[in-house]
Every structure is written in C-alpha cells, then in structure tokens.
C-alpha cells in the first residue's frame, strides 16, 4: 500500500487538490474532517476542550464554538499548543482508523490530506509527500476572501504553521497552485501518474493482499514442514 501525504499551508489549495484526487478515483483521508469528528458533542476530544477552555467555549446547542476557539488559538501560541496536545492522540487515532478501513477494502494508493503533516511529524509514515504551494500574496488574498477575515487575522493563521517555503523544500512533489485552476489541473495529471505508478515490492507487501499472501504462504510452509514434505 502506498500512503501519499498531501500537505501545504492554510488556504494553499489542499482541499482543491484532494478534490482532484477524489475525482480521479483515489481515496482521500481528510485530517480536517477527522479533527471535526473527534470534537463532536460528548466525545473524548469535546470533553478535553471543555475542561481546558471552560463552558464559555460552547455554543447554545452544546457544540464547540469553532470560530471562538479559532480566535483564541490563532492569537495565542501557548493555547494553540495546548489544543494540539489535547487533540493529537484523537486525530492520529481517527486518521489511522480511516486508513485501516480503506486498507481492509484493498485500496493500494491512499492520499492523506493533513495540513500539519510536517508539524506533527506524520510525514514519517507517508511517501511521497506532495506539497501544494502558493505564492505568499495569493495565499493571504485567498484566505481573506474565503474566510472573510482581515489581513492581521489571516497572517496570524499563516504564522501558526511552519513556513510554506520550507515545506516546499522538504517535498517529494510540488504543485504550484498560484495560477488558475486549469493550471493546477494540468500539473495534477502529471502528479497522478507519479503517485499511481507501479508499487514497489515493499508497498505491495504492505497491501491487504500482499500481507494475506505472506500469511497463506507461511501457513502452507509450516503445514508442509510438519508433514515432512519440505
């Protein structure tokens, strides 16, 4: 099995590219979706947030007030570290679970879209790593326009992550999403060829069917050895 890490900066275009992977039939695990699920009302993540940030962080319906929590953690690095520390085990567990479900189905190539792939050192588990890069001016403009926030707020969200240029330097594959959507789609076709190329021997062995054949061969070997047929 091949685990492709998809990352970038905030509003650099990860969801846009993961949408292209989905349209091409490649399954995607979205860490933002997992991160939302693990803080739903009553879950372990929800309880930890309420304990750490108080009842004031809840909306009337008991769900986490994400806008308020975002304002707190993106303007206070210590609070952000606290939130990250509280949620990290829930998020990694949730991601692992989603990957396992796809592995059981026999998927050979899985894309994991994780904004904080490098920050959480999860890049150790993914190969190749695809970084969606965008030039700084376009990034802040798209972020402000998508989230309807001001320049200062947008900048504090960008600064909450490792520098996008550094991520680019660590990437196996870079998609430059500074241009038009068509431009990105064109680059994506090349990336798709690269990530869905033939699996290495190790990747094949890590797949469901690869592991199954190891188990069957080992069992057959043991059986034959017991009957002195080897």
Ligand X SMILES: CC(C)(COP(=O)(O)OP(=O)(O)OC[C@H]1O[C@@H](n2cnc3c(N)ncnc32)[C@H](O)[C@@H]1O)[C@@H](O)C(=O)NCCC(=O)NCCS
Residue ranges binding ligand ATP (CB under 6 A): 8, 10-16, 32, 115, 142, 146, 177, 180-181, 184
Q: Which residue is nearest to ligand ATP (CB)?
A: 15
Q: Which of 87, 129, 134, 191 binds ligand X (CB under 6 A)?
A: 87
Query: DSSP labels for 149-192?
Result: --HHHHHHHHHTS--HHHHHHH-SEEEE-SS-HHHHHHHHHHHH
User: Residue 80 binds what, of ligand ATP, ligand X, none (CB under 5 to 8 Å, by partner type)?
Assistant: ligand X
Q: List Cα–Cα distances, 74 to 8, 101, 157, in angstroms.
A: 17, 33, 6
Q: Does 134 bind ligand X (CB under 6 A)?
A: no
Sole binder of ligand X in the list 44, 50, 57, 80 (CB under 6 A): 80
Smallest CA-to-CA distance from 174 within 182, 165, 102 is with: 165
Q: Does 79 bind ligand X (CB under 6 A)?
A: no
Q: For the segment 156-215, give every residue that binds ligand X (CB under 6 A).
A: 160-161
Is there binding between residue 17 and ligand X (CB under 6 A)? no
Residue whose C-alpha is closest to residue 174's, from 162, 164, 182: 164
- Look at residues 43, 44, 64 and name the one whose alpha carbon lies nearest to residue 53: 64
* Among ligand ATP, ligand X, none, residue 84 binds (CB under 5-8 Å by kind): ligand X
């Amino acid at each position: 099995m091949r685990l492709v890490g998809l990352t970038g900066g905030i509003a650099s275009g990860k969801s846009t590219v993961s949408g292209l992977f989905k349209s091409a039939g490649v399954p995607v695990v979205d860490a933002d979706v997992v991160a939302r699920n693990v803080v739903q009302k009553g879950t372990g993540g929800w309880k930890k947030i309420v304990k750490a940030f108080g009842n004031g962080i809840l909306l009337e319906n008991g769900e986490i007030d994400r806008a308020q929590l975002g304002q707190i953690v993106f303007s206070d690095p210590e609070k952000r570290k606290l939130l990250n520390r509280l949620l990290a085990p829930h998020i990694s567990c949730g991601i692992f679970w989603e990957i396992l479900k796809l592995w059981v189905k026999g998927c050979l190539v899985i894309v994991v879209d994780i904004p904080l792939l490098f920050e959480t050192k999860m890049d150790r588990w993914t190969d190749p790593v695809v970084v969606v890069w965008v030039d700084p001016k376009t990034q802040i403009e798209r972020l402000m326009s998508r989230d309807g926030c001001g320049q200062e707020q947008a900048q504090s969200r960008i600064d909450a992550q490792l520098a996008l240029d550094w991520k680019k330097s660590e990437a196996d594959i870079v998609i430059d999403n500074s241009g038009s959507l068509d431009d990105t789609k064109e680059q994506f076709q090349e990336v798709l060829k690269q990530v869905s190329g033939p699996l290495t021997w190790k990747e094949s062995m890590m797949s469901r069917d690869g592991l199954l054949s190891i188990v069957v061969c080992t069992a057959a070997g043991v059986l034959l050895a017991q009957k002195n047929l080897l």
